[in-house]
């Protein structure tokens, strides 16, 4: 605060404070040089209190020092009084310092005056000047304003915060009073900082704003205003700023990569690293990146799978903060759900020796090419359940159940081979649980009562009918062999047995058993082996006599889907999530590669492509076998 300077001039008491003495006069003892009398006005003096010439504002006990300049004449004495009370009486010869203390506690707030009286020599060189018998007296009244207010009501000094392009703009109500010493802005970023830390000190009481360009972006920050006074530090109510990182964008690609970008840091002075990490939940992360270049606000994620429900996290780490300390900071999340690129469906089937798949819904069947990622054609239908559909092992035909009829069509042109009524359609509690086609024109249909009917597809003739039992349980799934004379049956997932039947004398006779928790059953592409996939084991058995051809163990997990043409299947390790699948050689059990798939369970493997029922597709490079 600036106030105009005050200049004060002394005056000479008319008598010049001369004293007369009785003494012997010896003319030779004194100089006969003529001495000019002193001027009517003395030198202009400048007085500073605590190095200031402004009005004094005081609210607390204050120590003052003062300086007097503007003259070479000796200062004889200085007397300072306030409201009739002497605060200081300086005498030149006493060795005193020019200082005093003023305590405003017993005085009322408002305007007062400090009185200063100064006596100096005249500097004429006369006898009177030399003996101190003449001099100048200066009288000065110095304005004093007492203001004892302290900021004890914190609600009067609220702080507000606003996010700007350059930082956090803080505003507050000023404390423009005599007891003001300084403002301090304190910041806390929990849990990284357990206590608030002052980030700036301001000595101008009229300042009411501050821009924090070093804040921790993307964090929940707490700001408080500290007002320092002689009576202590007064702390305002805090303000929380939940800062959001902006501009997060993600674009998924069918090769399992994602282009991820965000807005650059707006406070490079505090910037240390961009920290990007991603995963399909909040605890298992598939990849992470530290980027120290503030201009590089992008990264390509390599393990995004099908891009379904991928969580991408972004943090701005301050300078000097390591990745190990990153868990102390809040994150901004982008939850990616890539749009479908193929028809959503209930079940997909490989068509052996063809490049396309059949996608089944309750109302439409699609012919889809995973190489070009295009739908070739579609067929309106009514399907009671996707489980009531199947494709023959040679890929020539497919069947679906449109209650009460079975419908068989050619895969090549959708043409109808035949449709006929289910002979048990009117029976109580009758519902189809599984159906399958042979390569020689037969259909096996299993119902919930364990009844298995074998039909001739060209005519719809019922060839064989009988009930199957596995340990007194009804099987839920059976697959007809390509030659139409064998059946492999299972009860359900995890039941520890699969049973093989051979058709002899118009009866299904048990040929053998495979004792392992069974998750799926099927025949190889050449129809020579039957495959039983378990929880931690896969068996390949001879289709003719069910003898063991090969068996290998797998780490605990789930069989997902098989590509018969290429002799490979997807295995989902039981590691607590289903985000990564192993691509396994069907004949040897060798794990060829691990593929990040993501949040997708119902899948179909075809060549170097994985599609999901959600309408997503992942293309992966062909591993070396």
Condensed to tens digits (0 to 9), the pLDDT of residues 421-476 reads: 999 998 888 899 999 999 999 999 999 999 999 999 999 999 999 999 999 999 99
In this model, does residue 341 exceed pLDDT 90? Answer: yes
In this model, does residue 30 exceed pLDDT 70? Answer: no
DSSP string, 187-242: EE-TTT-SS-EEEEEE--TT--EEEESS--TTSEEEEEEEEEETTEEEEPPPEEEE
∠ Cα 74 80 84 (to 5°): 145
522/533 Cα distance (integer angstroms): 9
The mean-pLDDT minimum among 10-19, 113-122, 184-193, 293-302 falls in: 10-19
* CATH of range 349-570; options 2.60.40.1930, 2.60.40.2310, 2.130.10.10, 3.90.1150.10: 2.130.10.10
∠ Cα 25 29 32 (to 5°): 95
Strands (E), 220-343: 220-229, 232-235, 239-242, 249-252, 258-261, 271-279, 285-291, 298-301, 308-318, 332-337
In this model, does residue 348 exceed pLDDT 80? Answer: yes
Q: What pLDDT score does 386 carry? A: 61
Specify the residue for token string 């992008």.
298
Specify the residue for token string 């489980």.
387
Q: Are 514 and 541 spatial neighbours (Cβ–Cβ below 8 Å)?
A: yes
Phi-psi region of 485 (alpha: psi -120 to 50; beta: other; left: phi over 0): alpha
- Enumerate the domain spans of the chain: 8-146, 154-242, 253-335, 349-570, 571-619
Question: In the CATH scheme, what architecture does the domain 154-242 have?
Answer: Sandwich (2.60)
Percentage of the chain exceeding pLDDT 90: 71
According to CATH, what is the number of the domain 253-335? 2.60.40.10
449/464 Cα distance (integer angstroms): 16
Q: What pLDDT score does 282 carry? A: 86
In this model, does residue 198 exceed pLDDT 90? Answer: yes
CATH topology of domain 8-146: Immunoglobulin-like (2.60.40)
Q: What pLDDT score does 14 carry? A: 30
CA-atom Rg of the chain in angstroms: 49
Stretch 268-282: mean pLDDT: 92
Stretch 295-308: mean pLDDT: 95
Specify the residue for token string 């900021």.
151
Sheet holding 405-410, edge to edge: 389-391, 397-402, 405-410, 416-421
Stretch 134-156: mean pLDDT: 91
Q: What pLDDT score does 33 carry? A: 57
CA distances from 59 to 206, 225, 296, 411 (A): 17, 21, 54, 97
354/368 Cα distance (integer angstroms): 11
pTM for this model (two decimals): 0.74
Tell me the backbone φ, ψ of residue 390, rounded to 5 degrees.
-160, 160
In this model, does residue 499 exceed pLDDT 80? Answer: yes
Q: What pLDDT score does 249 carry? A: 97
Q: What pLDDT score does 576 carry? A: 59
Stretch 167-171: mean pLDDT: 94
Same fold for the domain at 8-146 and the one at 349-570?
A: no
């Amino acid at each position: 605060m600036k106030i105009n300077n005050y200049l004060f001039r002394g005056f000479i008491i008319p008598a010049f404070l001369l004293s007369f003495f009785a003494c012997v006069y010896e003319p030779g003892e004194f100089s006969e040089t003529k001495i000019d009398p002193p001027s009517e006005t003395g030198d202009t003096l400048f007085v500073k209190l605590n190095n200031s010439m402004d009005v004094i504002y005081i609210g607390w006990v204050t120590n003052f020092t003062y300086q007097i300049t503007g003259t070479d004449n000796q200062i004889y004495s200085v007397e300072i009084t306030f409201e009739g009370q002497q605060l200081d009486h300086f005498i030149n010869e006493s060795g005193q310092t020019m200082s005093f203390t003023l305590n405003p506690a017993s005085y009322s707030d408002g305007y007062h005056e400090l009185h200063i009286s100064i006596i100096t020599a005249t500097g004429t060189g006369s006898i009177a000047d030399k003996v101190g018998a003449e001099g100048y007296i200066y009288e000065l009244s110095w304005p004093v304003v007492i203001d004892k207010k302290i900021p004890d009501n914190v609600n009067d000094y609220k702080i507000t915060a606003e996010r700007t392009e350059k930082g956090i703009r803080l505003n507050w109500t000023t404390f423009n009073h005599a007891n003001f010493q300084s403002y301090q802005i304190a910041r806390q970023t929990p849990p990284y900082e357990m206590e608030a830390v002052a980030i700036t000190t301001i000595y101008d009481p009229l300042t009411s704003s501050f821009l924090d360009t070093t804040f921790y972006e993307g964090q929940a920050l707490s700001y408080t205003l500290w007002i320092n006074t002689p009576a202590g530090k007064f702390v305002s109510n805090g303000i929380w700023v939940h800062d959001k990182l902006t501009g997060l964008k993600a674009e998924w690609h069918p090769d399992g990569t994602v282009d991820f970008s965000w807005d650059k840091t707006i406070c490079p002075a505090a910037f240390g690293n961009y920290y990007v990490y991603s995963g399909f939940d909040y605890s298992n992360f598939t990849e992470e990146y530290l980027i120290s270049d503030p201009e590089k606000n992008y990264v390509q994620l390599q393990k995004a799978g099908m891009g379904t429900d991928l969580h991408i996290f972004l943090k701005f780490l301050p300078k000097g903060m390591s990745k190990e300390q990153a868990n102390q900071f809040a994150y901004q999340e982008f939850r990616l759900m890539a749009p479908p690129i193929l028809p959503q469906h209930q079940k997909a089937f490989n068509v052996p020796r063809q490049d396309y798949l059949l996608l089944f819904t309750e109302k439409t069947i699609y012919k889809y090419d995973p190489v070009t990622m295009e739908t070739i054609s579609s067929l309106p239908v009514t399907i009671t359940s996707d489980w009531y559909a199947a494709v023959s092992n040679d890929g020539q035909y497919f069947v679906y159940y449109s209650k009460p009829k079975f419908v068989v069509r050619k895969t090549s042109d959708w043409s109808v081979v035949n449709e006929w009524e289910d002979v048990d359609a009117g029976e109580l509690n009758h519902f189809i649980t599984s159906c399958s086609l042979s390569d020689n024109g037969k259909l096996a249909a299993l119902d919930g009562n364990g009844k298995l009917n074998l039909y001739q597809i060209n005519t719809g003739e019922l060839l064989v009918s009988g009930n199957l039992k596995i340990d007194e349980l009804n099987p839920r799934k059976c697959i007809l062999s390509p030659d139409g004379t064998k059946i492999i049956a299972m009860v359900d997932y995890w039941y520890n047995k699969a049973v093989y039947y051979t058709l002899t004398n118009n009866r299904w006779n048990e040929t053998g058993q495979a004792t392992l928790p069974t998750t799926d059953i099927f025949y190889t592409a050449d129809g020579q082996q039957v495959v039983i996939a378990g929880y931690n084991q896969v068996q390949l058995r001879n289709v003719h006599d069910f003898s063991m051809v090969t068996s290998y163990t797998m780490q605990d997990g789930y069989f997902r889907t098989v590509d018969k043409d290429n002799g490979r299947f997807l295995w989902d390790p039981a590691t607590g999530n289903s985000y990564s699948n192993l691509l396994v050689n069907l004949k040897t059990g060798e794990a060829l590669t691990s593929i990040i798939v993501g949040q997708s369970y119902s899948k179909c493997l075809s060549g170097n492509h994985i599609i999901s029922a959600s309408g997503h597709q992942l293309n992966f490079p062909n591993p070396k076998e």
